[in-house]
Every structure is written in C-alpha cells, then in structure tokens.
Amino acid sequence: MNHAILLISSPDSKGITAAITSFIANNGGNIIHADQHIDEQSNTFFMRIEWSLVGFQIKREKITEAFSPIAHQFKMTWQLHFSDQKERVAIFVSKHLHCLYDLLYRYRSGQLNCEIPIIISNHPDAADLAKDFEIKFHEFAVLKNNKIEQEKKQMDLLKQERIDLVVLARYHQILTSAFIDSHKNQIINIHHSFLPAFAGKNPYLQAHQKGVKVIGATSHFVTEVLDEGPIIAQDTVAISHRDAVEDLVRKGEDLERVVLNRAVRLYLEKKILCYGNKTVVFD
Amino acid sequence: MNHAILLISSPDSKGITAAITSFIANNGGNIIHADQHIDEQSNTFFMRIEWSLVGFQIKREKITEAFSPIAHQFKMTWQLHFSDQKERVAIFVSKHLHCLYDLLYRYRSGQLNCEIPIIISNHPDAADLAKDFEIKFHEFAVLKNNKIEQEKKQMDLLKQERIDLVVLARYHQILTSAFIDSHKNQIINIHHSFLPAFAGKNPYLQAHQKGVKVIGATSHFVTEVLDEGPIIAQDTVAISHRDAVEDLVRKGEDLERVVLNRAVRLYLEKKILCYGNKTVVFD
Amino acid sequence: MNHAILLISSPDSKGITAAITSFIANNGGNIIHADQHIDEQSNTFFMRIEWSLVGFQIKREKITEAFSPIAHQFKMTWQLHFSDQKERVAIFVSKHLHCLYDLLYRYRSGQLNCEIPIIISNHPDAADLAKDFEIKFHEFAVLKNNKIEQEKKQMDLLKQERIDLVVLARYHQILTSAFIDSHKNQIINIHHSFLPAFAGKNPYLQAHQKGVKVIGATSHFVTEVLDEGPIIAQDTVAISHRDAVEDLVRKGEDLERVVLNRAVRLYLEKKILCYGNKTVVFD
Amino acid sequence: MNHAILLISSPDSKGITAAITSFIANNGGNIIHADQHIDEQSNTFFMRIEWSLVGFQIKREKITEAFSPIAHQFKMTWQLHFSDQKERVAIFVSKHLHCLYDLLYRYRSGQLNCEIPIIISNHPDAADLAKDFEIKFHEFAVLKNNKIEQEKKQMDLLKQERIDLVVLARYHQILTSAFIDSHKNQIINIHHSFLPAFAGKNPYLQAHQKGVKVIGATSHFVTEVLDEGPIIAQDTVAISHRDAVEDLVRKGEDLERVVLNRAVRLYLEKKILCYGNKTVVFD
C-alpha cells in the first residue's frame, strides 16, 4: 500500500499540528504514523507524518500544490515523499568490504527500500562482489594529481544514474567541497569511532593507544569539516586490555555494519531531519 | 509551568488526530509533546498529548466537559491529567532494601514528581531508612492465618492516604485478588529476571543453574496471575561462568533499581497505556 | 606461529596449575595465554592454556604421551589442540539465510579459522549462495516418512567429509537422538530468543504476543531436549510497542548473526568447556 | 576465609607462571583465582593470583621475604595483599551527591570491602548525608588564594587517617601536582563523558551541542594532565534528539554511579594494574 510522507520543520506556533492533521483528515487521509518534536532552545517544530493514499481525495501529483498554502502560512521547510518511490543509492568503498557486503545482503533480501545501481571505488577489490550482486562497478583510481578530475567524472556518473544518496561504506578518500556541496545532506559516512573521539586516521589504533574500555562507530552526514557532520547513529561495544588492535578492528567492524545500516535505513524511510549540525531521528 | 495531558485509546478512525489537535488549537493551547501509535492488529489508536495551559481558554476544571463530545464521537477511553498534580505513592518492601533506597534517593533529589507518604512492609528492616527520609513506616507482619486481615488494613491505609500508585520494591508477598482488583494497573512490581523466563521464586538461582549468559529485570503491572502482568520496562546485563549466585544478585540488583525507577517515572509522567496484556510506553 | 592448546577439567586439587605450567616451562615452552576457573559448588577446576611450540622440546606428536602421566595423576578430562589444525565445519540451513550469509562472509574474509566444505539443507534456497562461495551444497528434503533415512545419509556425508563441527544456522528440523549422540558437544544451534524464554516455534511471535521490551538470541550446544542444551552465547536488544513482528524479526536477525558467529568462533578457538548442562567460556 | 593476592608485572619470560604457581603449591597453598595477560607490544607479563592461606606453610608476615628471590629473578614489580585487610577510603565531593550516595549505600550494605572514615568537600552540601552514615565530614572551602594551603591540610588529614584510596565522586576542584604525586595511582575520578571526548567542563552540555547519539561516563586514575589518566571503566547509554541537557544529566548520573562503583570495587579487590597510561583490569 502506498503512503505519503511529510517531513516538516518550522518555527513552532499554535495550531500547526492541527493544521497539518486537518489537511489530511479533511481530504480523507488515514494517518499511519505521526511523530513530532519541539526543540525548546530554538523554538523549532519538527514533524514526520505518514498517511495512506487509499481514499485520499487529492491526487498525488497535486498534493504539493494543495499543501503549499499551509506550508507558507507556518513558514515550513518541508519535503513530500511517497513510500513507493525508491531512492537511488551509490555506494563508495575502498578496500574494507564488510560494510558493502552487509548493505548488499540487506538490499538483496529486501530490507532496504532502494535501488543500488552503482558501486564506486578507488581500488579494484570490490569488483567481484559487485559482479556477484549484478551491480555496475566503477573504479576511479585517485592519485595526487587527478583527484579533482576523477571527482568530476564521479559527479557526472551520479547525475547520469540519478543518484539520491551516496553511502561512503569505508571510502578512504576525502571528498572536495565541490562534491559535498552538490549533495548536501545526501552523503552518509561511517566513521569507526565514537565521534568526536578519535576523528581522522586509524581510530582503532588511537583507541588502543589511549586504553579506552569501549569503542564505537558513528554514522553521519558528510560536511566540509572532516568527521564533523550531523550524527545520525552511534553505538559502542565494551573492550578490555586483552583486545589487541586487530580485535578492536574485528569488534568494531561488527558495529560499523550495524550503525551504517541503521543510518541508511532511516534515510530511506525518510526519518531524518537535519537542523544546525544535529539531526532529529524519528525512529 | 502547568501542562494538561490527555492519554487516549480508541478504535482507529480517520480524523481522530485532527479532532484532538484542533480541540487544543481552537482553544488557544500550545502542544508541547504529542506521540501516537496505531496497533495494526487490533486497529487501535493510542495517543499521549501534552499542551501548555498558558493562554488556554478553557478552565482546567471545565476541560473534561469540553472534551467529552469528541471522546464520545470517537469512542475513546481517556484520562486527563495535569502536570502539577502529584501522584501519591506507597512503597511496599520486604528485606531487600536496594530498590527502596534508590527510589527514596531520587524522590529526595526531585527526580520523581510524586508524594511518598508511606512505606509498608511485612518486616521491620526498612524502619530506619523510612525515618531518615521522614516517611511514615507501617509494619504488617504477614502470617499464614492473618493475610486477608492484614491486607484489609493495608487497603484501608491506602484509602486513607489517598494512594494512587503502589510500588512493590521487592515485596515478597503474593497479593490477593481483592487487593489487586481494587488497584487495577496501579500496582507496579519489579521481578528480578527477564520475564517470562524465571518467574516465581529465586530467579537468580534459577538463572545460575540454567547457565544463561545474560540476566535481567522486569517491571510490570501486577495482575492476578503471578509475574504475568503487562510489562513496562526490561533490561539485561551480560554474565559469565565466573559469576556465582551472589554475583548475579549484585549485578541484578543494579538492574532492578534502574528498571523499577524507569517504570515508576514513566507512570508518574503519564506515559504508559495498557491494552490487553501489553503496554504502550511513550518515552 | 603454531601454538599448542590444552583444555582441561578435573577435580580441583593443590598443585594442579603448578604441574601444568611446570610441564610447559620445563620443556621450554612459552605460555601465550592462560585462563582458569574453579567452580566452587562442584569443586571443579577448568583451564585453557596456550603455548608457543617455538623452542618446545617435545615434538607435537609426542605431547599427548608426555602429558598423560600428569593428566592421570590429577584425574583430568583433557583435549590437546594445535592452532594450525583447522576444524572442518558443516553448516545446516533451511530457508532463512542471514546466518549462513554472515558465516560465509567471515569465512571468506579469514575471520574463522576453519574449513567449510559442505552446506546441507532441507530446501534448495541456499544453493546459489553456496555456489558463489564455491562450497558443495547438498539438499536432503525431509518428509514425514524419510527423516531417519535422510539423517543417515547426512551422517554418512559428515563422516566422509571428516566434519568436526555441525552449525545449525537456522535449520528448522529437529534432529534425532542418533544424530545428536554421534556428535556430542559438536552441534551448535542458534535459537531466536533469550532462552529459556520462548523455546520452540515462532519465538518472535511469542515475544510480540507477550509484550516483552527486550528480545534476544541464544547459541547453544544441541542435546536431546529441544532448546535445552548448554548455552554458549546470548545477547539481547531493546524493542518497543512500535515494533511489529516483522521488526522483531529484522532486529532479531542482526542479533542471531552476532551471537551464532561468537559461539562458532569461540568453538574454533577452543575456548569452550562443557560441564553438566553449562559452559565455561574462556573469552 | 583469608586469601593472599599477588599482583605482578614483569618482562615476559619462560617459566614465570610455573615459578609463581610452584611457589604457592610447594608451600601448600590452594589457588582460588589466577589470571594473566601478556602485552605483546611491550612483551610485558601481568598476573593476579589469589590463594587460600588455609594450610599455607608460610606465615603471612614472612611471605614477602619468601617470595622476594623469585620476584628478583624475574625482575617483577609486585604487590602482596590480603583479603582481610580493608583499604581506608576518603571520598571527595562537591555539590552533586549522587555518586557519594551510591557509594555510601553500597558501603553500608557490605558490597565494598573497605573503611570510609572521612568525606571531604569544598561545600557544606554533603554534611547531612555524612551524618546519616556516621562518617566524619570535613569542609575545606577552596578559594583562589587558599588552594595550596587547603590542600596541605587535606593531605595532612589523609595521612592522619591512613587513607589508601581517594575517590573523587564529582569533586569539582583540580588537584595540584603535589597532591597527585603523593597518591600515585591512588586517586580515582569519575568524569561524566566517554573520554577522550568531552574532557573538561560541562561535558553534558558539550554532548548536547554536538548532537551525539550516545553519552558515557569514565572512571580513571588521576594524573597531572586533566582527564587524561589511565582509564579503569567506561560505559555508555543511548540518547536521542528528545533528550534536553537535563535529560542527559539524569541519564548520565545513572551511568556515573555504576561506572565509579565498578572502578572502586575493582580497586578494592586488587584487580587493577597500571602500565604506561593504560590499565589491565582482571575482572
């Protein structure tokens, strides 16, 4: 069954929920899920509302037009989605394939409501895996002097494939501002630490040297400042002095898979709203 | 600031959210929190909505009357609460005082929005603690032949003290149906296992004999079937072969405190709705 | 580097650790790991000790003979392993392939120190996956009237392939006593609940109907009583009223993969000792 | 029953475990617990071994002398403890009393094997609580110009009370080097974040501003660099956008109590060894 989903943020004001839910009710819609949040510091209202299109009296291509006056009245920033529209996802990966593998397994078993037409890498390692899953594989070897050029080709490819979401599943290249700006809040990265601790290179080695008793993984939107974008999901696992760096890698990879998958699924289900450098996650 | 809270369950039908939120908006109320859930199996709608009474045009003593037509139209079961009304809580305890201690600490430090006028026990052990916290202590020694009699006195006392919630903080007596029926969904128990495993006596011993690798604690409403009432909160902790029964007790007691406190707090914040033998917890 | 591993259980007595470690030291061995446990209830001593064979003066094929007098003196039950000996593993699966998939990924990426020569199923669903990983796939359709016959063929196959460990990665057939007896403490199952709760069929449905707030997964050795064998690993995850049965399945499958993998890895690293209906896990 | 405990670190070498366990066995001791660890990077051996003094042929006051030749031979750094010797603990606290309260409850209920003769504070808030528990309370108001003077008085008091362990249970003063140096690896602090993230002031506010999805608590030995000493215990808890700073404080305080108690208990049970800026924790 097809559903419409509204994702809304706006200044908080009296009557906003009533206005939105009355719009749905008056047009014969049946609400399936509704969740809202008010950030008291900034007096901002956030809502995710999902309703069945069965019996809804406005055609889906007319909903935007019909809802616009309400949105305008309450100064909303808003997105309208339909549950039958599949996002198109590109996965970027380097040599560590565990997150890619996990996403592909979930994709094939129907857990991820998306299309994954392409896998992009700066190394050839994922080619066989892409082949097993019948997904196009593109290798763009990135050298010191060809980075901007290669990125341009990547951006062209993303455009051509009509990609809505870029997932960096352990892609070990820093993207340029040009790339990031052209996909604002559309690039999800997995970092293998509980940020803000251990940003940058070799977080498992950093964690081992520091002697922490938990390690973590963080999935976040990519912004221009490395490992600083809005956090979507995080999790941690206990470790001990017995764990060598390679044990941290093994335990951490299990976390990375879970955390990245959680972030990607939340994105595909339209459950994430960004504000400032933070996220509202309607889970 | 004072808030009104509606807790609603009803058959799901189109327009119900709009009707509720319009009632609030049309009377000048500002929604602070709203959360809803639809149980698809039983087609039941659940809602918790909280709004500020600042600027609300209906006097608080008139809200029930004003909301009744809507409630009637949608066949709602509903409760109206006000955040400035403190529930009156009686704590029952036997010889293990860790949960009592924890609740009293949180009560004194202002974490629990309630009054705790009395502590009831079948043993004298908690008398000193009650005195430290300046709470009346009543001992009702329960013997084979005086149980019904003692319970009657307890019920009289609860009535006299206008008790809204009974918390069994490791009270090792089985309550009679008469007692339970007179406080439907108003008695919260902590059981020291992850129910439905290890119901009944000595759950830590049972867990040790079984050789499980996690233990748990469960907070639930008390119904006539022992350890079978609607579950409010549960949590678990990892154990190993190194843990003797006394280690399970120690680790488990830390869980019990957290889980019972969570359930009591949720109750006091009017965040729990029962349906069938389950709960909706708006946390 | 090759290591020897002794797994020992015996009645506890003075001098046992000194006898074992002196045996290793006097023959030039360097201990890499040593862990011991004393079960006070039964006065049983358990030890896992691992030492480097570099510079060890007893040839590996003579260690059993050399150690036997000490073992005899202290009435030990003991096993000697070498880290370069790879166990041979058969995976049994039905239609849910997530655990199989996960084990195969870890196998291919070198995380599991074993050989997996065969996958056995009562359905054809895993055939393609086996092919991708270049592992022999054997389908034994099990009907009411051919179960014993099919099991015999399976047992012949396990013998022929010299299988050391059978992993039931969601294999939905109950094994006969004949099969179980011939592989005592060599069959690991994953059950999709926190046992002893929700044994038997449809544990996620049972959990949903009960309204629990955590679900779990349990990996255990298979004994004749269904879902009652010694528990190796367990874990749990929080759920809420929002989770429908299919959400429990999705969240639970992530647990199952982690818990089964943990049990298999512990087995392959010779870190599990059974006693009574429980396990000592040297992790 | 009284036990002896040896805590040992040394360069790793062949025969060290055999030498230690033979020393115990040859003198009629029965090992209760033994745990060892080898740090491969630094080739360091760590051991904690605990044996019953029942039947042990060396008098307790002669064990140091008897063991010294072995210690010397293997270049050990070592400590000998007896389980019947109670450490003397001073708790330092400022205005947040939740950790103090928790430690005192556990102390009174017999969970902590120690004496707590004094509580020290720079504020009067904890005086009543100290009185309830019949513990001496000393207030040392710390101003800009009297810090060194006040610390000297504190140090005198610690000496006079023969204090073995200082617990900073949310003591909001930075200690001077003189104080720290005089109690090396004898001062345990609780910091309300998962270090190294959010060191310094207001970690819950920092966490809220950063928008993390987990918060944590860290217990560590105090060294001269603020919040940088060897970590003993850490734990984390999930949060969401719904949690305001005061919710982080509430959830975090529950963590702090658990994490600080874990560290203190490990210390009192002689289960912690420091090396470099890290700890080995034999739990």
Whole-number Å distance between alpha carbons of C118 and B249? 44
Cβ neighbourhood burial of D191 (10 Å; 0-12, 13-18, 19+): buried
Whole-number Å distance between alpha carbons of B88 and B163? 5
For helices A63-73 and A16-26, the axis angle rounded to 10 degrees is: 160
Å between A145 CA and nearest CA of chain D: 35
Whole-number Å distance between alpha carbons of B9 and D27? 73
Neighbouring subunits of B (3+ Cβ pairs under 8 A): A, C, D
Question: Residue C146: which residues within 8 A CB-CB, separation 6 or more?
Answer: none
Q: Find residue C161's DSSP bridge partners.
A: none
Q: How many domains does chain C have?
A: 2
When CB atoms are compared, the residue of C101, C109, C250 closest to A105 is: C101
- Collapsing DSSP to helix, strand or coil, A172 comes out as coil
CATH number of residue B21's parent domain: 3.30.70.260
Tell me the CB-side half-sphere exposure of residue C60, using CA atoms within 13 A: 15
- Which residues in chain B are contacts of D101 at CB distance < 8 A? 105
Tell me the residue range of the domain where A275 lies. Answer: 87-281
Statement to judge: residues A126 and A104 lie in one domain = yes
CATH number of residue C119's parent domain: 3.40.50.170
Show which of D82, D113, D144 is a domain's final residue: D82
Query: Is pLDDT of A102 > 80?
Result: yes
Long-range contacts of D77-80 (CB under 8 A, 24+ apart): D77/D8, D77/D9, D77/D10, D78/D6, D78/D7, D78/D8, D78/D9, D78/D10, D79/D6, D79/D7, D79/D270, D80/D4, D80/D5, D80/D6
Between chains, do C98 and A109 touch, taking CB under 8 Å as contact? yes
Query: Is pLDDT of A202 > 80?
Result: yes
Residues of B identified as active-site: 227
Determine how β-strand D77-82 pairs with β-strand C136-139: unpaired
Q: Does C93 touch chain D (CB under 8 A)?
A: no
- C-alpha distances (whole Å) from A249 to each of A192, A220, C78, C230, C242 are 9, 20, 33, 29, 33
Sign of CA dihedral D27, D29, D31, D34: negative
When CB atoms are compared, the residue of C216, C240, C277 closest to B211 is: C277
D96 φ, ψ (degrees, to nearest 5): -85, 115
Sheet holding A231-238, edge to edge: A136-139, A114-121, A87-93, A165-168, A187-191, A214-221, A231-238
Comparing CA positions, the residue from C107, C246, C101 lying closest to residue A103 is: C101
Query: Is pLDDT of D28 > 90?
Result: yes
Å between C145 CA and nearest CA of chain D: 52
- Which residues in chain C are contacts of A112 at CB distance < 8 A? none
Q: Which residue ranges in chain B fall short of pLDDT 50? A: none
Mean pLDDT calculated for residue range D112-125: 97
Neighbouring subunits of A (3+ Cβ pairs under 8 A): B, C, D
- Which residues in chain B are contacts of A18 at CB distance < 8 A? 18, 21-22, 24-26
Whole-number Å distance between alpha carbons of A198 and A200? 6
Neighbouring subunits of D (3+ Cβ pairs under 8 A): A, B, C
Cβ count near B223 (within 10 Å): 19
Mean pLDDT of chain D: 96
Statement to judge: residues D250 and D111 lie in one domain = yes
Statement to judge: residues A54 and A173 lie in one domain = no
Q: Band of the pLDDT at A196, cuts 50, 70, 90?
A: very high
The confidence score (pLDDT) of residue D283 equals 85
Statement to judge: residues B37 and B168 lie in one domain = no
Whole-number Å distance between alpha carbons of A7 and A279? 13
ω into residue D117 within 30 of 0, thus cis? Answer: no
Cβ count near D226 (within 10 Å): 13
Question: Does pTM top 0.90 for this prediction?
Answer: yes
Whole-number Å distance between alpha carbons of D50 and B43? 61
Statement to judge: residues A131 and A150 lie in one domain = yes
Q: Band of the pLDDT at D1, cuts 50, 70, 90?
A: confident
Q: Name which of D100, D109, D259 to mutate to probe chain B: the one with the most chain B Cβ atoms within 10 A of its Cβ.
A: D109
Which residue type sits at B193? Answer: S
| Strand (E) or helix (H) holding A179 | helix A177-181
Q: Find residue C47's DSSP bridge partners.
A: C8, C36
- Which residues in chain D are contacts of C30 at CB distance < 8 A? 12, 14
- Which residues in chain D are contacts of B109 at CB distance < 8 A? 97-98
Cβ neighbourhood burial of A122 (10 Å; 0-12, 13-18, 19+): buried
ω into residue C117 within 30 of 0, thus cis? Answer: no
When CB atoms are compared, the residue of D19, D24, D36 closest to C34 is: D36
Prediction ipTM score: 0.95
A239 φ, ψ (degrees, to nearest 5): -130, 175
Å between C198 CA and nearest CA of chain D: 27
The confidence score (pLDDT) of residue A240 equals 97
Whole-number Å distance between alpha carbons of D213 and A262? 13
Q: Does A109 touch chain C (CB under 8 A)?
A: yes
A122 φ, ψ (degrees, to nearest 5): -95, 5
Tell me the CB-side half-sphere exposure of residue B242, using CA atoms within 13 A: 16
Å between C25 CA and nearest CA of chain B: 27
pLDDT tens across C164-216, in order?
Answer: 999 999 999 999 999 999 999 999 999 999 999 999 999 999 999 999 999 99
When CB atoms are compared, the residue of C132, C250, C258 closest to A111 is: C250
Statement to judge: residues C37 and C138 lie in one domain = no
When CB atoms are compared, the residue of C198, C210, C234 closest to B214 is: C234
Q: Band of the pLDDT at A27, cuts 50, 70, 90?
A: very high
Distance of CA A16 to the CA centre of its chain: 27
Statement to judge: residues D139 and D179 lie in one domain = yes
Whole-number Å distance between alpha carbons of D88 and D107? 12
Whole-number Å distance between alpha carbons of A222 and D204? 24
Å between D133 CA and nearest CA of chain B: 10
Neighbouring subunits of C (3+ Cβ pairs under 8 A): A, B, D
Which chain B residue has its CA at the smallest distance from D106's CA? B98
Show which of B32, B61, B82 is a domain's final residue: B82
Which chain B residue has its CA at the smallest distance from C196's CA? B197
When CB atoms are compared, the residue of A210, A230, A231 closest to D196 is: A210
The confidence score (pLDDT) of residue A226 equals 87
The confidence score (pLDDT) of residue C283 equals 86
Q: Band of the pLDDT at A268, cuts 50, 70, 90?
A: very high
Q: Does B199 touch chain A (CB under 8 A)?
A: no
Instruction: Read off the tokens for D184.
Output: 């090396």
In order, the DSSP letters of C84-111 are TPPEEEEEEE-S--HHHHHHHHHHHTT-
- Of A39, A227, A235, A247, which residue is the catalytic one? A227
Q: Does C98 touch chain A (CB under 8 A)?
A: yes
The confidence score (pLDDT) of residue B226 equals 87
Determine how β-strand A278-281 pairs with β-strand A272-275: antiparallel
By the 8 A CB rule, do B20 and B47 touch?
yes
Statement to judge: residues A170 and A208 lie in one domain = yes
Q: Does D105 touch chain B (CB under 8 A)?
A: yes
Which chain A residue has its CA at the smallest distance from B21's CA? A18
Instruction: Read off the tokens for A163.
Output: 């990609």
No. of helices (H) and no. of strands (E), chain C: 8, 13
Whole-number Å distance between alpha carbons of D107 and D129? 13
Instruction: Read off the tokens for D168.
Output: 């900073």
Which chain A residue has its CA at the smallest distance from B51's CA? A14
Show which of B63, B82, B101 is a domain's final residue: B82
D181 classed as catalytic = no
Statement to judge: residues B163 and B38 lie in one domain = no
Which chain A residue has its CA at the smallest distance from C32's CA? A242
Statement to judge: residues C277 and C194 lie in one domain = yes
Q: Does D62 touch chain C (CB under 8 A)?
A: no
Instruction: Read off the tokens for C86.
Output: 């790879």
Å between D241 CA and nearest CA of chain A: 6
Which chain A residue has its CA at the smallest distance from C249's CA? A111
Which chain B residue has its CA at the smallest distance from C220's CA? B212
When CB atoms are compared, the residue of C98, C111, C132 closest to A250 is: C111
Residues 24-43, chain C, touching B (beta carbon < 8 A)? 37, 39-40
Between chains, do B21 and A18 touch, taking CB under 8 Å as contact? yes
Determine how β-strand C187-191 pairs with β-strand C214-221: antiparallel
- C-alpha distances (whole Å) from A269 to each of A6, A266, C41, D76 are 11, 5, 53, 59
Mean pLDDT calculated for residue range C255-279: 97
Question: Residue A130: which residues within 8 A CB-CB, separation 6 or more?
Answer: A119, A136, A137
Question: Residue C145: which residues within 8 A CB-CB, separation 6 or more?
Answer: none
The confidence score (pLDDT) of residue A2 equals 92
- C-alpha distances (whole Å) from C218 to each of B55, C204, C262, C271 are 55, 13, 11, 17
Residues 119-148, chain B, touching D (beta carbon < 8 A)? 132
- Which residues in chain D are contacts of B101 at CB distance < 8 A? 105
The confidence score (pLDDT) of residue B1 equals 76
Mean pLDDT calculated for residue range D90-100: 97
Sheet holding A77-82, edge to edge: A77-82, A3-11, A44-52, A30-39, B30-39, B44-52, B3-11, B77-82
When CB atoms are compared, the residue of A17, A25, A55 closest to B31 is: A17
Alpha helices in chain C (DSSP H): 16-26, 63-73, 98-108, 127-132, 147-160, 177-181, 203-210, 245-268
Statement to judge: residues B173 and B234 lie in one domain = yes
In order, the DSSP letters of D188-248 are EEEESS-TTTT-SS-HHHHHHHHT-SEEEEEEEE--SSTT-SPEEEEEEEE--TT--HHHH
- Of D227, D235, D247, D254, which residue is the catalytic one? D227
Q: Does A212 touch chain D (CB under 8 A)?
A: yes
The confidence score (pLDDT) of residue B144 equals 85
Which chain A residue has its CA at the smallest distance from B25's CA? A15
Whole-number Å distance between alpha carbons of B58 and C187? 68
Statement to judge: residues D75 and D105 lie in one domain = no
Q: Find residue C247's DSSP bridge partners.
A: none
